[in-house]
Structure 1
Amino acid sequence: MSKKVLIIDDEDDVKEIAQMGLEMAADWNVITANSGKAGLELAASSQPEVILLDLMMPDWDGQETLKHLKANQSTVKIPVILMTAKTKSAIASELTGLDIVGIITKPFRPLQLPEQIAEILNQFEVNK
């Protein structure tokens, strides 16, 4: 069964590479948004199985977008994975208390992305 994944990132090349990897390696259905506001609307209307959310974006950054996703009844239960170019240790304090299921650091390997996402989601399910 094909998973539906929403990628929220302001960088077109990142979205395209991630989409290509998810579609080629796992035949997942990928939808994309260029901003947090657009992502919130798409998440509510399309109900993806998982959201890949860029941490650094103009207007609403990843943390602001996450707040809105978790405050919205129709998107609150969708697992969110942050994507960032920063190292986990560099942003550890920023991540404290955030309702995310995992982190994927950029640059990532597009064809390994489905496996990374599946691993994070499996771990999340185990720890629920």
Structure 2
Amino acid sequence: MPKRKFKLMFIDDDPDIRSIFDFAFDQEADMEVRLFASSLDALSAAAAAPPDIILLDVMMPEMDGPNAFKRLKAIPALARTPIVFITAKAQKHEIEKLEQLGAAGVIEKPFQAMELPSRIRALLKRTSGANLPAAGETKKSS
């Protein structure tokens, strides 16, 4: 029986950051990543197909991360979905403010791309109790 794929949604207006994120998860057979350049586009997509975890940039045009967070959490199907902020604003008081909103975590930019899958697995395990395999056990064969 095929293993369940964990669905990740990554929202960041920077195309280079999206490419790095996509590359980091390219070989993760148990994770399916959907990339969005806009919080507005992600809102309707998340409601239609709820992900297991959302990674959300803080500073974006149209709608910033904290406002998108509030709108995403207001969608009943996403109320319990962990949301992790991605930010270059890594001062202690800024991180605390994001955590006070209810963020499941904060990842600072720049991040180590190849460490992201294991960090996300740890967050998924902590927030949902999911029985996730260890990093390296899920690689697609080349």
Q: RMSD of the alignment, in Å? A: 1.6
Q: Is the 8 A contact 1:33 1:42 kept in 2?
A: no
Shift of 1:110: 1.5
Name the counterpart of 1:82.
Answer: 85
Name the counterpart of 2:113.
Answer: 110
Name the counterpart of 1:100.
Answer: 103
Q: Report sequence identity in percent.
A: 32
Indicate how the Cα distance of structure 1 residues 75 and 124 shifts in structure 2: closer, same or farther if over 3 A, else same: closer
2:71 pairs with 1:68: yes
Larger Rg: 2
Q: Which structure 2 residues correspond to residues 35-46 of structure 1 after superposition, within 5 A?
A: 35-46=38-49
SS of corresponding position for 1:41 = helix
TM-score of the superposed pair, with normalisation by structure 2: 0.80
2:56 pairs with 1:47: no
Q: Which runs of 5+ in 1 are unaligned?
A: none
Deviations 1:43-101 (A, max 9, x none): 11121111010011011100000000011112212110110012151513532521211
Indicate how the Cα distance of structure 1 residues 68 and 8 shifts in structure 2: closer, same or farther if over 3 A, else same: same
TM-score of the superposed pair, with normalisation by structure 1: 0.88
Q: Which runs of 5+ in 2 are unaligned?
A: 130-142
Larger displacement relative to structure 2 (81-90 or 42-51)? 81-90
Name the counterpart of 1:7.
Answer: 10
Partners of 1:93 and 1:48 in 2: CA distance: 25
Indicate how the Cα distance of structure 1 residues 103 and 93 shifts in structure 2: closer, same or farther if over 3 A, else same: closer
Aligned residues: 125
Larger displacement relative to structure 2 (64-73 or 104-113)? 104-113
Give the letter aligned to residue 29 of structure 1: E
Runs (4+) of structure 1 exceeding 3 A deviation are none
